[in-house]
Amino acid sequence: MYHDISILYKFFKSNRILKIFKKKTKSKLIELIILFEKNKSIQFKYNLNTFKKVHYINNVYINSKKDLLKIMIKNVLNKNVDFKKNNYKASYIIKLIEKIKKQKKYEYKNFLRYS
């Protein structure tokens, strides 16, 4: 989830979160719905029953053919990184994940009431 939020960091920072819903699902299936101002929402789906890493955000499969780890290491070695900006971003993401963890599980109908 950390990396998914990182991908959408600019969106999260520019839109105020109104409510976070954890949809009740079968075991090892996680579904989150984050509701923002102006009727915007993001839905994350994770299946922990599979070994293959599959990420869906708003029912879109997220995948990259780029070797992102290689790119990151190259940027660090070439000193092409703003560590202060990166630490601020990481801090924001960790705080958001902690907020999500504390959230109680809601029925999906509660989400529909807000949407």
In three-state secondary structure terms, 43 is strand
Q: What per-residue confidence (pLDDT) applies to 22?
A: 82
| pLDDT class of 67 with cuts at 50, 70, 90 | confident
Confidence check: pLDDT of 106 > 70: no
pLDDT at 105: 66
pLDDT tens across 13-52, in order? 999 999 888 876 777 788 888 999 999 999 988 887 877 7
Query: How far apart, in whole angstroms, are the C-alpha atoms of residue 111 and residue 62?
Result: 24
Global confidence as pTM: 0.74
Contact 5, 11 (CB under 8 A): no
Spatial separation of the C-alpha atoms in residues 23 and 17, rounded to whole Å: 17
58: alpha, beta or left? (left if phi > 0; alpha if psi -120 to 50): left
- Domains of the chain, by residue range, sit at 2-114
